[in-house]
Amino acid sequence: MHEFDIITTLAGGFTAALLFGYVCHRIGLSAIVGFLVAGIVVGPTTPGFNANPQIAAQLAEIGVILLLFDVGLHFDLQELGRVRKVALPGALLQCAGSFLATFLLMLWFSSNWQEAMSMGIAMSFASTVVVTRVLSEVNELQTPTGNLAIGWLIVQDVLAVLALVLLPSLKGIEGASWFSLLGILEIAALKIAILVLAVIFLGGRIIPRVLHRIAQTRSRELFTLTILVIVLGLALVSSRGFGVSMALGAFLAGVVIGQSDFSVRATSDALPMRDAFAALFFVSVGMLFDPLVFFETPGLFAAVLFLAMVLTPALAIGAMLVFGLPLKNALRVGFSFAQIGEFSFIVANLAKRSGLISDSLVHLLVAVSIFSIALSPLLQWSIEPILGFVRGSTKLRWLAVSRKPLTRQPAIRIDGLDDQDPASEFRTVVVGFGPVGRTAAKLLDENGIHATIIEMNPGSIEPIRAAGHRVVLGDASQIETLKHAGVDKAQSLILSASNIAQSNDLIRMARLLNPSIQILVRSAYVRNCAVLLKNGADYVIAEESEVALAMAETILRNLGATAEQIDQQRAKLRSELHQDQQNQKTSSS
């Protein structure tokens, strides 16, 4: 493998992904479509520049591992439990129905049972990226409808991970009996159980301690390397030591770290290249596409596209209606599942490497994915016409009758905050838990406002929790940390440390997340106030001015001034300082 080939493949793949991803975003399509088209353009089936597909596939493996690690990092049984009465049985029924329909279709098109099973598994899962994007565009992501969709996706993610683990066990058993197949699956299940127990129980004790020790060094580089060593190490142990896919090891690493205090920091610090390698994964999939699929198997392509865009959403909508949800919510969630995405490709690639499916079927899945992802958002526009037709039909009017409100379903937490939190109506976030941050949080708590603390020092976690505050361990200059702390819903943000690095960037990110948030900043010097105000701070407390106030009060008190006179002078000085800041803010804007 030549070094120049690696650089050429990376440069060509990333450039094409950027260009076509941007074009698709501008015309209202998912960027994933652009990444797949970029793979087709730089692939061997089109003229011009050709990237090395072997190198791209190997680099894309990193994207798969980081993607599964991210899934595990955000996996939460409590979130799934809040929508379990609908999401759990509904997702199981939908995945089973999609699998069975695809399995029977492939057998009808003269595929062997292993190939049919692999295709059935690949067609059972929707794209998490596309679903969240579709619901976000219609302002439904952080609503009960979006909560249900996310719970549904969690169930699909778990099933996908199990499928990735069991799929290699199907290799080389064409003529095996059902009894032999059951034995192979039992052995695979035993290996999985041993691996899961070892990682969850042993890793759950060792990994957080290792991360705590590394975090105390305050070195982002060492922390990032530690996360990557854990993820890649467990992925390698899963593959070489237990004979299961690397995906399971990466997923389990994410679960263990996600249940620790380091989940937010792992997301913000240790996965900076996740999106880039994930894009390269879709590019590598697009490179497998062959346009001849439209001419060689047009009937199979149309049938599989029908399963993805009609049958799968119909199964999801039907399941939700059976469980008593309103038709509008069922349509909104069901139509968002009308595509196949990242897990479908991961399953297909693993099945291809295991010799379970042919190259032509991988090409078919790529073609179906491009069309379904591109057309899926259009289905959201048809919801109101469908509702109008149902209400106007005498035979279908019963579907539009008010059913169990979705809002009664317990909502899962999107931003990590409990909606039943008594402080949910007024949230404030304090960055830093030094003497100033500790005092500010204490005063807020005494007045019924429970602050969320963002802190980098892992040694401060227990004192913060002992004081009754919610804590997020991470770097406040990372947008993921601010999101997890709830800055997007908070009414105020306090930067309590005067030496916070990248404070201007932090203010701008907070203002971007929440334009109406009130931002109070502590500054060491008065000369920094103008810059902080210009970047979006509402009020800056300068240590120099506060020292001047304290000295003036001391002098007045020693000269015999009354408490009332001191209060008047303090109010006058603070008013002048406040007016100066307002003038600075006005002039800077």
Predicted confidence (pLDDT) per residue in 316-345, tens digit: 988 888 887 788 888 888 888 998 877 787
How open is the CA angle 189-192-195, to the nearest 5 degrees? 155
What dihedral do alpha carbons 150, 155, 161, 164 form, nearest 10°? Answer: -110
Whole-number Å distance between alpha carbons of 3 and 7: 7
* CB-CB contact of 430 with 440 (8 Å): yes
The burial class, CB within 10 Å (0-12 / 13-18 / 19+), for 163 is: buried
Q: State the pLDDT at residue 408.
A: 42
Place of tokens 């595509």: 339
* CB-CB contact of 351 with 357 (8 Å): yes
Contacts of 134 (CB under 8 A, 6+ apart): 336, 376, 377, 380
Work out the pLDDT band at 583, boundaries 50, 70, 90.
Answer: low
* Token couple for 448: 């019924």
Work out the pLDDT band at 4, boundaries 50, 70, 90.
Answer: low
Q: Report the mean per-residue pLDDT for the chain.
A: 76
Q: State the pLDDT at residue 182.
A: 65
| H/E stretch holding 511 | helix 503-513
Range 428-588: architecture per CATH: 3-Layer(aba) Sandwich (3.40)
Work out the pLDDT band at 384, boundaries 50, 70, 90.
Answer: confident
Task: Please say if the pLDDT value at position 218 is more than 80.
Answer: no
Whole-number Å distance between alpha carbons of 450 and 259: 23
* CB-CB contact of 224 with 270 (8 Å): yes
Q: Which residue has the higher pLDDT, 21 or 560?
A: 21
How open is the CA angle 134-337-15, to the nearest 5 degrees? 55
Beta-strand relationship, 539-542 and 518-523 = parallel
Percent of the chain whose predicted confidence (pLDDT) is above 70: 80
Whole-number Å distance between alpha carbons of 170 and 173: 6
Percent of the chain whose predicted confidence (pLDDT) is above 90: 5
Whole-number Å distance between alpha carbons of 472 and 485: 6
Q: State the pLDDT at residue 414.
A: 30
Whole-number Å distance between alpha carbons of 120 and 97: 9
* CB-CB contact of 220 with 165 (8 Å): no
Q: State the pLDDT at residue 96.
A: 92
Work out the pLDDT band at 143, boundaries 50, 70, 90.
Answer: low
Whole-number Å distance between alpha carbons of 315 and 296: 29
Question: Residues for the chain: how many in total?
Answer: 589
Task: Please say if the pLDDT value at position 528 is more than 60.
Answer: yes
DSSP codes of every residue in 93-108: HHHHHHHHHHHHHHHH
Mean pLDDT of 40-47: 80
Work out the pLDDT band at 505, boundaries 50, 70, 90.
Answer: confident
CA distances (Å), 2 to each of 6, 293, 327, in order?
7, 32, 57
The amino acid at residue 441 is A
Range 3-380: architecture per CATH: Up-down Bundle (1.20)
Q: State the pLDDT at residue 269.
A: 67
Work out the pLDDT band at 35, boundaries 50, 70, 90.
Answer: confident
Q: State the pLDDT at residue 194.
A: 78
Task: Please say if the pLDDT value at position 440 is more than 90.
Answer: no
Mean pLDDT of 125-141: 72
Work out the pLDDT band at 61, boundaries 50, 70, 90.
Answer: confident
Q: State the pLDDT at residue 389.
A: 77
- Residue of 103, 482, 517 whose CA lies nearest to 267: 482
The burial class, CB within 10 Å (0-12 / 13-18 / 19+), for 146 is: buried
Task: Please say if the pLDDT value at position 167 is more than 60.
Answer: yes
Alpha helices in 239-311 (DSSP H): 242, 246-258, 263-269, 274-286, 293-296, 298-306
Whole-number Å distance between alpha carbons of 486 and 477: 14
Q: Which residue has the higher pLDDT, 166 or 119?
A: 119
Work out the pLDDT band at 303, boundaries 50, 70, 90.
Answer: very high
Work out the pLDDT band at 128, boundaries 50, 70, 90.
Answer: confident
Mean pLDDT of 462-491: 80
Place of tokens 């705590």: 212
Mean pLDDT of 397-418: 44
User: Residue 443, CB half-sphere, CA atoms under 13 Å: how many?
Assistant: 8
Long-range contacts of 378-383 (CB under 8 A, 24+ apart): 379/309, 379/313, 379/335, 379/338, 380/134, 380/137, 380/138, 380/332, 380/335, 380/336, 382/335, 383/328, 383/331, 383/332, 383/335
Assign 3-class secondary structure to 343-395: HHHHHHHHHHHCCCCCHHHHHHHHHHHHHHHHHHHHHHCCHHHHHHHHHHCCC
* CB-CB contact of 308 with 123 (8 Å): yes
Q: State the pLDDT at residue 369.
A: 83
Helix (H, G, I), strand (E, B) or coil at 19: helix
* Range(s) within the chain of domains with CATH label 3.40.50.720: 428-588
Whole-number Å distance between alpha carbons of 128 and 134: 10
pLDDT tens per residue, range 366-379:
888 888 887 877 78
Work out the pLDDT band at 399, boundaries 50, 70, 90.
Answer: low
Whole-number Å distance between alpha carbons of 485 and 263: 12
Task: Please say if the pLDDT value at position 413 is more than 50.
Answer: no
DSSP codes of every residue in 116-147: HHHHHHHTT---HHHHHHHHHHTT-TTSHHHH
Q: State the pLDDT at residue 98.
A: 92
Task: Please say if the pLDDT value at position 295 is more than 90.
Answer: no
Work out the pLDDT band at 270, boundaries 50, 70, 90.
Answer: low
Mean pLDDT of 226-230: 85
Task: Please say if the pLDDT value at position 419 is more than 50.
Answer: no
Residue 586's Cα: distance from chain center in Å? 38
Helix (H, G, I), strand (E, B) or coil at 539: strand
Q: Which residue has the higher pLDDT, 71 or 210?
A: 210
Task: Please say if the pLDDT value at position 417 is more than 70.
Answer: no
Q: State the pLDDT at residue 156.
A: 82
Task: Please say if the pLDDT value at position 232 is more than 80.
Answer: yes
